[in-house]
């Protein structure tokens, strides 16, 4: 079976959950007899050194079956490229690879219209789309966060969405929804890494029997050795992730300020991550100012250390420095790979009480939940974690092994093969997800979107 995986960025170029999962699956497929995978990862002009004159799709770093899609002239509203030569190269690439399955992990930098173009080029191919966030529903980065007050948004509507984008009329959101759903028609099966996502997309209009839950999985980064139990004082906390607004590192910083104001300083926070350049100007300035303040303190008074970006093979060393992993995201999170990474090493997670975090973490059994965006509640949780005797041991002992990469592989192979073994919502696809008719449609599209 020839499988083409298509995603946004390569994890060795820009770290992120969607690209990491896509690459983990690519590696697992490479080791599977009878499967011939190919990877195509889109990049943008910020990766200037990887662009070549006249090139549109290139190989990556001399590796077999790994390619880069050199996105240009990208429209982030309609999620389409205005460069027709890119489309021609994509068609040529499909015809060269001749996949039996095309598995999209994103459409950003690629374009929604590549879904329909794939169907038109290879009418009998099986198209799978993994929904890593809510970008199809939500124009605000797919995070379902209202831009005016940063509150969580449960559903999209023309009026609600136009409040986030005052410069756009409500009917523009109607047109955008038509555009997204028109191209989603080309997809045979959607997969989601967490179950709560399914209801969001069903409410929006996707048929329930086209959506299947397949967990994200990762290889074991422990080397087969669980980290030893921490010292007697479990007062070291680690943040792992991108330093962008919605990952909530600012909530953690505010919690640190709160604890200091109360005179509690018996803790250490280590911040592991990068991509601060992608944060909003206000949050970036806030984080940079805090870092300067912290680094100006005498070493013995410092409580927060910024350790910079890291690769997955550094996880063991960095997780070994902390007792707790803090996931203060202010959006729903659709899986939060960092939870799995912490659990691999027996580290309990302190997370926001929404989305995949609330679905995965069992409060007071294998981790602790606090009110999303509530720095005071996080401060109280950190204090409890530092002072309650036996808490760390009990929660660490309650951790179950996170989903292995083999579970994701098995679920995806069921989807690729259209297995009829289980019902929608589990880790494989049921007979209800059947081959779809892809006769040409005549429904008119918004002229601006053509």
* Whole-number pLDDT of residue 428: 47
Whether the predicted pLDDT of 335 surpasses 80: yes
Query: Which of 248-257, 270-279, 381-390 shows the lowest mean pLDDT across its residues?
Result: 270-279
64-75 mean pLDDT: 96
Q: Where in the chain is the domain with CATH 3.40.50.2000?
A: 2-218+405-449, 236-397
pLDDT of residue 230: 61
| Percent of all residues in the chain with a pLDDT value above 70, rounded to a whole number | 92
Residue 21 φ then ψ, to 5°: -65, -45
Architecture of the CATH domain 2-218+405-449: 3-Layer(aba) Sandwich (3.40)
pLDDT at 51 exceeding the cut of 90 = yes
pLDDT grade for 224, boundaries at 50, 70 and 90: confident
> Phi and psi of 58, rounded to 5°?
-130, 165
Question: What are the beta bridge partners of residue 72?
Answer: none
Does 427 have pLDDT greater than 60?
Answer: no
**pLDDT at position 65 over 60:** yes
Name which of 165-174, 375-384, 422-431 the model is least confident about: 422-431
More confident: 148 or 229:
148
When pLDDT is averaged across residues 346-353 and rounded to a whole number, the result is 97
pLDDT tops 70 at residue 444? no
Least trusted range by pLDDT, from 106-120, 343-357, 432-446: 432-446
Tokens describing residue 277: 């350049």
Please write the tens of the pLDDT for every residue from 376-425: 999 999 999 999 999 999 999 999 999 999 999 999 999 999 854 434 44
Distance in angstroms (rounded) separating the CA atoms of residues 97 and 92: 9
Instruction: Give the end-to-end CA distance of the chain in Å, rounded to a whole number.
Output: 33
Q: What is the model's pLDDT at position 420?
A: 42
Residues sharing a CB contact under 8 Å with residue 279, sequence separation 6 or more, in sequence order: 243, 244, 245, 287
Judged against a pLDDT cut of 70, whether residue 370 lies above it is answered with: yes
Q: In this predicted model, what pLDDT tens digit does every residue of 253-266 receive, in sequence order?
A: 999 999 999 999 99
pLDDT number for residue 336: 94
Q: Indicate whether 252 pLDDT > 60.
A: yes
Architecture of domain 236-397: 3-Layer(aba) Sandwich (3.40)
- Distance between CA 382 and CA 371 in Å, rounded? 13
pLDDT at 308 over 90: yes
Residue 446 has pLDDT above 60, yes or no: no
What number is the average pLDDT over the span 117-140? 97
Other CB atoms closer than 10 Å to residue 245's CB: what's the count? 23
Instruction: Please list the residues that pair with 130 across neighbouring strands.
Output: 191
pLDDT tens per residue, range 78-103: 999 999 999 999 999 999 999 999 99
| Opening angle at CA 336, ends 378 and 325, nearest 5 | 45
**276, 271, 378: which is closest to 321 by C-alpha?**
271
- 442 has pLDDT over 60: no
């Amino acid at each position: 079976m020839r499988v083409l995986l298509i995603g946004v960025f390569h994890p060795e170029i820009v770290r992120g959950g969607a690209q990491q999962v896509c690459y983990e699956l690519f590696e697992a497929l490479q080791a599977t007899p009878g499967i011939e995978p190919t990877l195509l990862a889109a990049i943008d002009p910020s990766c200037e050194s990887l662009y070549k004159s006249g090139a549109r799709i290139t190989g990556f770093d001399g590796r077999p079956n790994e390619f880069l899609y050199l996105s240009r002239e990208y429209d982030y509203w309609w999620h389409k490229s205005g460069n027709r030569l890119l489309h021609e190269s994509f068609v040529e690439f499909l015809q060269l690879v001749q996949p039996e399955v095309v598995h999209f992990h994103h459409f950003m930098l690629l374009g929604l219209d590549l879904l329909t173009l794939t169907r038109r080029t290879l009418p009998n191919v099986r198209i799978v789309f993994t929904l890593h966030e809510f970008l199809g529903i939500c124009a605000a980065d797919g995070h379902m966060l209202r831009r005016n007050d940063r509150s969580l948004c449960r559903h999209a509507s023309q009026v609600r969405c136009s409040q986030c984008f005052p410069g756009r009329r409500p009917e523009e959101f109607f047109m955008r929804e038509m555009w997204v759903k028109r191209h989603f028609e080309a997809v045979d099966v959607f997969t989601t890494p967490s179950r709560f996502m399914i209801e969001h997309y069903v409410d929006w209009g996707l048929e329930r029997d086209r959506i299947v839950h397949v967990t994200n999985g990762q290889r074991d980064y422990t080397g087969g050795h669980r980290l030893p139990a921490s010292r007697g004082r479990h007062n070291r906390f680690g943040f792992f992730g991108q330093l962008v607004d919605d990952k909530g590192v600012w909530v953690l910083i505010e919690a640190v300020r709160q604890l200091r104001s109360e005179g509690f300083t018996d803790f250490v926070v280590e911040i592991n991550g990068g991509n601060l350049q992608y944060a909003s100007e206000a949050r970036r300035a806030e984080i940079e100012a805090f870092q300067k303040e912290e680094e100006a303190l005498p070493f013995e008074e410092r409580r927060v250390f910024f350790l910079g970006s890291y690769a997955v093979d550094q996880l063991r060393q960095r997780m070994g420095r902390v007792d707790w992993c803090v996931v203060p995201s202010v959006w729903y999170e659709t899986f939060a790979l960092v939870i799995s990474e912490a659990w691999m090493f027996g580290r309990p997670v302190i997370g926001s009480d929404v989305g995949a975090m609330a679905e995965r973490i069992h409060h007071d059994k294998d981790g602790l939940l606090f009110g999303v965006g509530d720095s005071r509640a996080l401060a109280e949780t950190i204090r409890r974690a530092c002072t309650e005797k036996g808490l760390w041991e009990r929660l660490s002992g309650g951790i179950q092994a996170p989903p292995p990469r083999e579970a994701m592989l098995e679920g995806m192979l069921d989807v690729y093969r259209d297995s009829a073994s289980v019902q929608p919502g589990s880790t494989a696809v049921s007979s209800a997800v059947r081959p779809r008719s892809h006769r040409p449609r005549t429904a008119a599209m918004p002229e601006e979107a053509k």
